[in-house]
């Protein structure tokens, strides 16, 4: 499927199937855990948050995965139906209308802005669809199923909530004061939970069959200096000495800010400044020495050796290099690519060479993925 410039494919790896099964099971459990808000809405409107796992699947694995969770959840419920399948099919339709816009928006560009507007769009469309479905399908069907076509009995059942409603005004009360606020409340809660949980569960949601222990590689989003420092701390927590961190990004992308966060996480007390003019700064008061080098003004790596810069670097130092010109780096190398997504938003793409070796090793021992 092609959306804008993003190509969405269905990857049927073992990890994909495992995550899909887990999220579907969780969605089904939430689907069964329904409860009423009788003091606010008619008792037959049941609150449940089963679209949350589908949203997480849509964000992490694409719109197709999100749709599959919705469909499978409802299919599993069919043998337990008490509504002649109408309730489950209605929930399937509304779930797809809610989840797909959010997942598609996020697939176009994976940032907070697109996630937000996707969730807003899904909420509005699903609420509108709920009004139409209830007016022309659900209420007429349930009136026949439970009240033998006696519409006045349904109106009387809702008299506690809508005492002024009559047979002529019931739909205005029920749709305007019931369906619309009920669905807005439900979808807003689900959207907020998705916002709060997605990044915290990102490592699990993006698991590809490799070990989750100390996994560093991936994409991280930042909209503030504090969030950049938090990303830098994730990197610092994996350092044992001797690693090289290569910073890549345009001028003003935030490379020095990231280095300040890394230094703070390593316990450096000195003020960290950009080495644009000094070429290299060394800080030795943290738990590991930190060497911060900016090679922008150097013609080649040989020039740094001619200046004797590398001779002063402690053997166990963590080396942070901007505008790298070295071609013979060895050991563990962590690439950090910083991309500007807006005035304050940045995406940090981290690639850890140690994890790449682990992935290659797993593939050699039988962990290769199949794609369809």
What's the pLDDT score for residue 236?
Answer: 93
For the chain, what are the domain ranges?
2-203, 217-367
Q: For residue 214, how many C-alpha atoms fall within 13 Å in the half-sphere facing its CB?
A: 12
4 pLDDT tier (thresholds 50, 70, 90): very low
pLDDT of residue 311: 74
CA dist 38 and 45 (Å) reads: 9
Q: What is the mean pLDDT of residues 283-307?
A: 85
pLDDT greater than 60 at residue 162: yes
Cα–Cα distance measured from residue 107 to residue 9, given in angstroms and rounded to the nearest whole number: 11
Per-residue pLDDT at 362 exceeds 50: no
Phi-psi category of 128—alpha, beta or left, where left has phi over 0 and alpha has psi -120 to 50?
Answer: alpha
Query: Does the structure show a pLDDT above 70 at 365?
Result: no
Q: Once rounded to an integer, what is the mean pLDDT over residues 272-295?
A: 90
Average pLDDT over residues 163-177: 86
Better pLDDT: 263 or 163 = 263
Residues 6+ apart with CB under 8 A from 24: 53, 68, 69, 72, 73, 76
Domain 217-367 has what CATH class? alpha beta
Say yes or no to pLDDT of 349 above 90.
yes
Q: What is the pLDDT of residues 12-53, one digit of tens each?
A: 578 889 899 999 999 999 999 999 888 888 878 889 999 999
Terminal Cα distance for the chain, rounded: 13
Q: What is residue 297's predicted lDDT score, i.e. its pLDDT? A: 81
Mean pLDDT of the chain: 85
Non-local (6+) Cβ contacts of 247 within 8 A are 255, 258, 259, 320, 321, 322, 336, 338
Give me the architecture of the 2-203 domain, per CATH: Orthogonal Bundle (1.10)
46-80 per-position pLDDT tens digit: 899 999 999 999 999 999 999 999 999 999 999 98
């Amino acid at each position: 499927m092609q959306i804008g410039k993003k190509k969405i494919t269905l990857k049927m790896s073992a990890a994909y199937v495992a995550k899909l099964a887990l999220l579907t099971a969780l969605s089904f459990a939430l689907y069964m855990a329904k409860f009423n808000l009788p003091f606010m809405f008619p008792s037959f409107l049941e609150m449940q948050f089963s679209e949350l796992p589908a949203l997480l699947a849509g964000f992490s694995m694409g719109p197709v995965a999100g749709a599959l969770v919705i469909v499978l959840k409802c299919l599993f419920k069919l043998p337990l139906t008490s509504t002649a399948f109408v309730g489950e099919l209605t929930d399937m339709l509304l779930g797809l209308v809610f989840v797909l816009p959010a997942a598609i928006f996020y697939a176009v560009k994976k940032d907070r802005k697109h996630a937000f507007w996707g969730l807003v769009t899904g909420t509005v469309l699903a609420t509108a669809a709920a009004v139409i479905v209830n007016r022309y399908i659900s209420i007429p069907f349930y009136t026949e199923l439970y009240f033998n076509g006696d519409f006045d009995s349904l109106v009387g059942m809702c008299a506690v909530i809508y005492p002024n409603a009559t047979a002529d005004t019931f739909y205005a009360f029920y749709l305007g004061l019931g369906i619309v606020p009920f669905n807005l409340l439900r979808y807003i809660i689900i959207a907020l939970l998705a916002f709060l949980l997605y990044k915290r569960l990102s490592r699990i949601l993006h698991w590809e069959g490799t070990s989750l222990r100390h996994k560093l590689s991936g994409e991280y989003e930042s909209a503030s200096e504090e969030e950049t420092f938090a990303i830098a701390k994730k990197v610092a927590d994996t350092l044992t000495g001797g690693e090289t961190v290569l910073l890549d990004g345009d001028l003003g992308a935030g490379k020095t800010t990231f280095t300040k966060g890394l230094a703070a996480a390593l316990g450096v007390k000195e003020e960290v400044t950009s080495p644009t003019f000094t070429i290299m700064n060394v800080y030795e008061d943290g738990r590991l020495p930190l060497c911060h080098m900016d090679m922008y003004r150097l013609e080649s790596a040989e020039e740094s050796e001619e200046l004797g810069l590398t001779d002063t670097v402690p053997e166990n130092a963590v080396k942070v290099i901007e505008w790298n010109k070295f071609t013979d780096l060895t050991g563990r190398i962590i690439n950090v690519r910083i991309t500007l997504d807006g005035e304050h938003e940045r995406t940090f793409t981290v690639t850890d060479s140690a994890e790449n070796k682990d992935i290659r090793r797993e593939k050699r021992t039988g962990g290769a993925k199949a794609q369809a």
